[in-house]
Amino acid sequence: MSERKPKNIFHQGPIPATFIAESIQKHSTQIGIGGHSIFLGQVRADVGENGKVKAIDFTAFEEMAIEKMHSIREDIFSKYPITCMHVHHSLGEVLAGEICLFVFSSSAHRKEAMEACNEIVERLKAELPIWGREILEDDSHQWKVNK
């Protein structure tokens, strides 16, 4: 294990576009980076048998999720030659159309950045204790199931 410390990945509410842009801009001075891969998760207004989703209210077992994300982070850094990795996930209510997940990886070459970003997203969706309560247009709710 490296000496990296666990990072808090959580943000209250939606992740603003300005935050995403500033995060990307901060890397412009890192001239050894040749590729960035970015994943943005957006709340969909899914329509199902119970109605249309207007928002998702995200909750998490935060301490456990931060520790698990740290473990995933260490695995990814040991597997891929990436230089940077950032993960930000919303807590609380995020409306349809707003960003709830921002994953950003950087490397000297695009392939490694893209592969690392994809694995990060897949693993955090499968392994982190984060739940989404879909709020429907009539204010009823149902629990989100990741596919």
Which tokens go with 112? 């490694």
Collapse the DSSP code of 118 into the 3-class scheme (helix H, G, I; strand E, B; otherwise coil) and give the result.
Answer: helix
Asked: is 10-143 a CATH 3.90.1170.40 domain? The reply is: yes
List, in sequence order, every beta strand (DSSP E) within 43-129.
47-48, 51-60, 82-95, 99-107
Spans of all domains in the chain:
10-143
Band (1; pLDDT cuts 50, 70, 90): very low
Encode pLDDT of 67-115 as tens digits: 999 999 999 999 999 999 999 999 999 999 999 999 999 999 999 999 9
Determine the Cα angle at 30 with ends 27 and 33, to 5°: 95
Residue 138: what pLDDT?
A: 93
Q: Give the pLDDT band (50/70/90) at residue 145.
A: confident
The pLDDT score that the predictor gives to residue 53 is 95
Tell me which of 15-24, 33-42, 137-146 is least confident: 137-146
Both tokens of 1, joined, read 């294990």
Structure token pair of residue 63: 């301490």
